[in-house]
Structure 1
Amino acid sequence: MAITGIPRTNPPEMPGPSGFPDWSHAAHQAAKAVPDQAVDACWRALNHLSAAQLYLTDNPRLARALRTTDVKESPRGHWGVCPPVNFMLAHLGPLTAWRPAGSELLVLHGAGHASPSALAHAYLNGTLHLTGNGPGWSMPELRALITGFPHTERFGGEITPLIPGVRHTGGQLGPALAIAQGMVLDAPHRLVVPLIGDGELETGATSAAWLARRALAGSGGHGAVLPVVLANGLKMGGPSLLAGMSQEEVHSYFTGLGYQPLIHEGADLPGFRRLLADALHRLRPLGESGRQPVIVLTMAKGHTGPKRAADRWIAGTPAVHKTPLKDPRNNDAEFAALATWLASYRPAELFTTQGRPTDLVRQALPGPPRAPETARPSAPLATRGPQSWPDVSSVIRERAANGAFRLFSPDEIASNRLELSADGSLPPWAVEILNEEICHGWLQGYTETGRDALLATYEAFAPVNTSLLVQHLKHRRLRHLTGQGGLPSVNYLITSLGWRNTYTHQNPGLVSSMLETEDGFVHVYTPADTTRAAAVLAVMLASHDRVNFLITDKHPGPSFPPDPFRDELTDGAAVWPHLSHRGQPHLILASAGDIPARELSAAVTLLRRSHPEIKIRYLHVNDLAVLGPTPHWPYALPERTFTRLFGTDTPVLMAAPTHPGTVRALLAARGETSRFHVVGYREPSRPTTPEGLLEHCGLSAAALSAQAALMIKERSG
């Protein structure tokens, strides 16, 4: 997915529903100011640039007859989705330019395959920078655009935030509609238009998102989402399921979901402008009752491209997905088809000899770019410090009181023992829906637009979002490279842990997958008790540019002395003096997480009874990410600190709430492969009790004490 648009410099204060912009009036104003011929010219310009990027090395405006030397040896890229995407961009440009004062319009690409469109759009908007002479319109810039495509190292092969104007990375099918919904929450001034491929309708995330808006009823004053389904008939390799439905069935499908479908073929450009104005007239804030409009654009995939080359039929086949003409430089029939195809856009009417869009095209463009929206700063919760020891629920309530905050949960707020109001009711800023992917999409959209959010879920169900999180980490990494840091962190509260849950609810796999990425944005917090967990959560909610996971048991457990916690929070790990001997230890015990801390600290008591001569150093790891080495982990323990805590040759017994192999991998990357014995979750072969699971994994106090004694014996022997 990717977002393009021209946001206002300073977003207005968030008004109530009465402050919802009059987008219908904006559409009528745009229709009066921008003639149909300009929208058509803009669409042709986008189509021509998209096709030229795939095929040309020179002659970008066909100022002379096309030559084989103008054509690339190996055309690459995706064509099929570009025409309907370009059609929408051309129609939304005037609306963006004439949008209501104080409003914002964003376009979100549901798939990453439209990168030629995104680059073409950035060029027409004058924001692309390729030649080193600054962004803008010029023949060198235009040549660089088409010659260098796909610009793999510069922008990536798909839509990424490295492309100017793009604020979300493409390639992850499904969550575009949910992310769009998250973007407009608490933002009445914002309209988001997600462009959703008909193949995406087959994904679970998109299917659930249509219904998900009902969960937002009564949750505050929001902006609007205008979904556009690009019903082009084809997925990558064959017909989409939507293509097998009649127009009546498509209408019934969306009507049954609570929408007002507006279906249009696309060839009638003036008719589509009227339909768009009608859709905006019907538009209402997300969360309000009543039918929302959805536009179904039934434009064939690869529309305006070649229908055939010699005896090979192209239109309506999977060949249009990527490059419909495979080798026009060396195939005469394909070369003729390419020349006819590009000439059909009449590019000399669209671009001047200086590479500038002509006056006709410029009438339909969004206008000069403005500075990106400034993210609303988080509340300064981190300054409270651990000494105040609030509980997790009060941290959430206090953060919510400061505004621009949302809690999302898959119908598990009460089950996770979060108390969000005095009477136990669900406050407007907390939303439940029984779908982890939708919760993540809302979270992602909300944080992407500069607000703080938290997703609270069961440990076992969180791994459903692994792919979404990996994709988002890629986005954050690329965004950071462009200097666009400062986004609020993505925060997960993982509770209802498998250590106390039933067999089907035991799976700590999400944090294992996140740590395996070796991504420095990732933090996996494993505090030892609830007061520490609350302080960690406050820090998470005040942080930026991180993807944070807090693992904490929802059941009450023992509390530990607070003195070491400041070091746990600052360094990621600290020695617990009350459980440690002075001097050189025989054995180092390390816990990560509250249940391991409970069991391992109890094991210390057993060891002191059975082996009073053993000297122990006990430490707790508050963030598993600090165990990894630099430079993969920028917040890793420095080597000197690691040595001070863990020594150099002393055996270490470590108890963790995750799969032990994940922790071993972090330590092995530091060169620690033999002296660490890590105990963690091991899949049981059958259902068992919480006590039985601890025994099975070697994580009970008795099992840990026995393992410690064995390690001492092996060392002395």
Structure 2
Amino acid sequence: MPGQILLQANPPADGSLLPDSVLQLGVQLDAKDYLSHDELKAMKMFRRAADYIAAAMIFLNHNVLVERDLNHDDIKSRLLGHWGTCPGLVMVYAHLNRLIRNNAGLDALYVVGPGHGAPAILSSLWLEDSLSAFYPHMTRDRKGLEKLIASFSVPGGFPSHIGAGSAGAIHEGGELGYALSVSFGAVMDNPNLVVACVIGDGEAETGPTATAWHGFKYIDPAESGAVLPIVHVNGFKISERTIYGTMDDKEIIALFTGYGYQVRIIEDVDNIDHNLAASFDWALAEIKKIQSAARSGNPIGLGGPKSFHGEFIEGSFHSHQVPLPGAKTSAEELTALQEWLKSYRPEELFTSDGVPVPEILSIIPEAAEQRLGQKKESFRAYTPLTVPEWQGFCAEKDSQESCMKAVGRLLKAVVKENPQTFRIFSPDELVSNKLDAVLDESCRNFQWDSESRAKGGRVVEILSEHTCQGMLQGYTLTGRTGLFPSYEAFLGIVQTMMVQYSKFTKMAAEIPWRQPCGSLNYLETSTWARQEHNGFSHQNPAFIGAVLNLKPATARVYLPPDANCFLSTMAHCLRAKNYVNLMVGSKQPTPVWLSPEDADKHCIAGASVWKFASVDDGVDPDVVLVGIGVEVTFEVIAAAALLRKHVPELRVRVCNVTDLMVLGANGSHPHALSDEAFDSLFTPDKPIHFNYHGYPIELKGLLFGRPKLDRVSIEGYREEGTTTSPFDMMLCNHTSRFDVAAAAIRGGALSNPKVAVSAHEHESFMKHLAVKEREYIYANGKDHDDTFNTPTF
């Protein structure tokens, strides 16, 4: 039978498995008469009112209280929304209200996994008068009710899924699978917060949710709040049974007991309010008991038409979306809709002015700031980070330094300065990515590991990119700042999650009552250019393109060329708000090209001429060579040195781009160079060769709209690679110094006769050097020892 499964994490102090006696908690509850008569009446009336409004939102344009017979003009032209999940979501909302009222000072948020259940949430927000706090025209009276119902799922109105426009929401309800990990992220460093998270049984089938059940193992009850997961077992998805809907109680109990939860199954429709109230009280008491022990130093069937046209609706997949889709045109379905809506007896729920009756209001928290739709954690909680001056962590110019080692030193200081507002979410790659300096200041946070339990660890490592992403989102949207470092090739796993998040923040930025939040910060390292030892599977820079596709107001992509530039970029990103920041760099030691002062200027500009590698400081060039990315920039510098030696008559200007967005067409991005600035940097008419870390097509799309693009050539990652040597990776993808030098010769020959007369000879020589280099690599299994020595001029 469809119902709710309420779970309470109960990690044992010694990290052992839960005892067999926990299974006794999995039986169906018998909590008759748990609620008083008045409480039960108020609870049922709230539910009835919210369910009625939710159903009316899906169907009605007018006649919102059905005070006359419905006609087809009362029905919306387009029927949207998922009815099947609404009664369950309303039920949880009602019981959370009761819990908040009965526990003074309880801070709670409600995260809804079944995203298209927006009617349930919006109707409850209207009943508690939270909508009018943000939308003054949505008053809690007839006029406001009419506006709410008429504005659902119509142009300019509320969408059918939860989003940034929904008061109290911190989760975009489009793509399924992330509600639980978002909830765990939200409670981190929020010790007084309880997040009730409803996971639909369809969502529970996703891989991200399957791993997220382990999230409580990273929650230290001494420093963080708690998540109360609720599995809403409808039994059906769009047109098929769910896995959870086919499992019996024993199987479900065994599954979640294995995860480490205490289970309560609530499915007795006749006593469902008594059972749910008892379960919520029990769960909160268990949460308080665990938190109190940890902090003291001692750790330890629900509405809608039954059937129609000879097919069952309630209890089948037909109730999942719009149960009566033909109500706009069919007299028979219109009559059925009227009978359904009238069955809620709206005249008993609302006064003639459309105001909810006192019994309904009696279960709503009295203090507005305690209501689920008005918790500051969901829309006004940003705490800026204290970011130390990055210059104090810089490397000396002309030395060799790993960008990640330098960044690790900065992050260690950030952790020290922000012990409750900064976390790193890493898929088990922190040490591999050379960021382990952080661990000198903070341990990892894994509550089932005695070495790291209850030590305030700022690093969450779990080999699930989805869970890292979800936790990062929840942590960020509730006011803190996080960082997600990853191997470059595997960030694509969370691409759609990142896109969903950006949709939420894009809408949030357009809503005046939502305060800005910290940026979502990705640190992409172990890149294809130095993944030759792991092979082709680890070579993929495609996440850059995913960020480029976001709205320009949100997207930021940085490819700092050395350790000092990376420190400047990281400090900026940690302070920035409302962006999706992607930083791409290398963990291997590479030359430090710029002093701290020059790095600061370069990063502020986003791109500049590197005079030290250019002929005559870059004045009057025949060709412009541009490096974008650590390793490919090294090859540009090496090519410039090679050309200085073998083709001294060629006048080369070398540029570096650290902020990728400056290349966009004039006006296409807030950072885009004006056409005049673009020409000043890259000349108005000379050939330009880009040596780019990502896929060339990305750069082509970014440059589209700039004048005279026929002079541009681009090389980048060509989807060529294997287990080979670092320099062979450059050769495979035509980004080596020899390829760059050959491109420079071809370009310079167009305007410099001294170059043109020997161009074929010089280009052939460069190709010959490339062939000889590859022969050496394949014969010796490695690059020449001096391949990556810093070039001299």
Displacement of 1:33 in angstroms is 11
Give a deviation string over 1:316-335, Cα, whole Å, max 9, x none: 33221211112224323322
Query: For residues 655 and 426 of structure 1, what CA distance do their matches in structure 2 show?
Result: 38
Query: For residues 621 and 424 of structure 1, what CA distance do their matches in structure 2 show?
Result: 34
Alignment of 1:7-156 (within 5 A): 35-101=39-105, 103-128=106-131, 134-156=137-159
SS of the residue corresponding to residue 39 of structure 1 reads helix
Alignment of 1:394-413 (within 5 A): 394-403=409-418, 404-413=421-430
Q: Which amino acid aligns with 1:279?
A: A
- Correspondence 1:590 to 2:626: yes
- Correspondence 1:187 to 2:204: no
Q: Which amino acid aligns with 2:611?
A: P
Rg (Cα) greater in structure: 2
Alignment of 1:255-266 (within 5 A): 255-265=257-267
Counterpart residue number, 2:541: 508
- Correspondence 1:554 to 2:587: yes
- Correspondence 1:570 to 2:604: yes
Alignment of 1:280-429 (within 5 A): 280-283=284-287, 300=301, 303-370=302-369, 372-373=376-377, 374-381=380-387, 384=389, 386=391, 389=394, 391-403=406-418, 404-418=421-435, 419-422=437-440, 426=444, 428-429=457-458
1:618 to 638, 648, 654: 654
Query: For residues 92 and 600 of structure 1, what CA distance do their matches in structure 2 show?
Result: 61
Distance 1:312 1:607, change over 3 A: same
Query: For residues 137 and 378 of structure 1, what CA distance do their matches in structure 2 show?
Result: 36
1:696 to 732, 740, 756: 732
Distance 1:218 1:164, change over 3 A: closer
Q: TM-score, normalised by structure 2?
A: 0.81
1:532 to 565, 585, 589: 565
Give a deviation string over 1:127-157, Cα, whole Å, max 9, x none: 3359986442122221122223213433334
Q: Which amino acid aligns with 1:497?
A: T
Q: Which amino acid aligns with 1:246?
A: D
Displacement of 1:609 in angstroms is 1.0
Q: TM-score, normalised by structure 1?
A: 0.89
Q: Which amino acid aligns with 1:409?
A: S
Asked if 2 retains the 8 angstrom alpha-carbon contact of 1:219 and 1:429, the reply is no
Asked if 2 retains the 8 angstrom alpha-carbon contact of 1:95 and 1:366, the reply is no
Q: Which amino acid aligns with 1:465?
A: V
Distance 1:288 1:409, change over 3 A: farther
Distance 1:575 1:170, change over 3 A: same
Distance 1:40 1:289, change over 3 A: same
SS of the residue corresponding to residue 460 of structure 1 reads helix
Give a deviation string over 1:483-516, Cα, whole Å, max 9, x none: 3242011111111111111222111111112113
Query: For residues 376 and 129 of structure 1, what CA distance do their matches in structure 2 show?
Result: 23
Query: For residues 708 and 165 of structure 2, what CA distance do their matches in structure 1 show?
Result: 38
Query: For residues 192 and 37 of structure 1, what CA distance do their matches in structure 2 show?
Result: 26
1:171 to 171, 174, 177: 174
SS of the residue corresponding to residue 157 of structure 2 reads helix
Q: Which amino acid aligns with 1:346?
A: R
Counterpart residue number, 1:629: 665
Asked if 1 retains the 8 angstrom alpha-carbon contact of 2:201 and 2:235, the reply is yes
Q: Which amino acid aligns with 2:665?
A: P
SS of the residue corresponding to residue 484 of structure 2 reads strand
174-183 vs 573-582, greater mean Cα deviation: 573-582
1:495 to 495, 513, 525: 525
Asked if 2 retains the 8 angstrom alpha-carbon contact of 1:518 and 1:632, the reply is no
Give a deviation string over 1:376-417, Cα, whole Å, max 9, x none: 4323427x2647527211111111112211011111111111
Q: Which amino acid aligns with 2:81?
A: G
SS of the residue corresponding to residue 454 of structure 1 reads strand
Distance 1:325 1:134, change over 3 A: closer
Query: For residues 245 and 174 of structure 1, what CA distance do their matches in structure 2 show?
Result: 20
Give a deviation string over 1:259-288, Cα, whole Å, max 9, x none: 111100152212221122122222269999
What's the RMSD between the two structures over aligned residues? 2.6
Give the share of equivalent positions with the same residue, in percent.
31
Q: Which amino acid aligns with 1:199?
A: G
- Correspondence 1:160 to 2:170: no
Displacement of 1:591 in angstroms is 1.0
Distance 1:287 1:708, change over 3 A: farther
Displacement of 1:569 in angstroms is 1.6
SS of the residue corresponding to residue 111 of structure 2 reads strand
Query: For residues 727 and 135 of structure 2, what CA distance do their matches in structure 1 show?
Result: 65
198-207 vs 342-351, greater mean Cα deviation: 342-351
2:246 to 244, 247, 257: 244
Counterpart residue number, 2:613: 579
Distance 1:492 1:715, change over 3 A: same
Displacement of 1:686 in angstroms is 4.7
Query: For residues 688 and 315 of structure 1, what CA distance do their matches in structure 2 show?
Result: 60
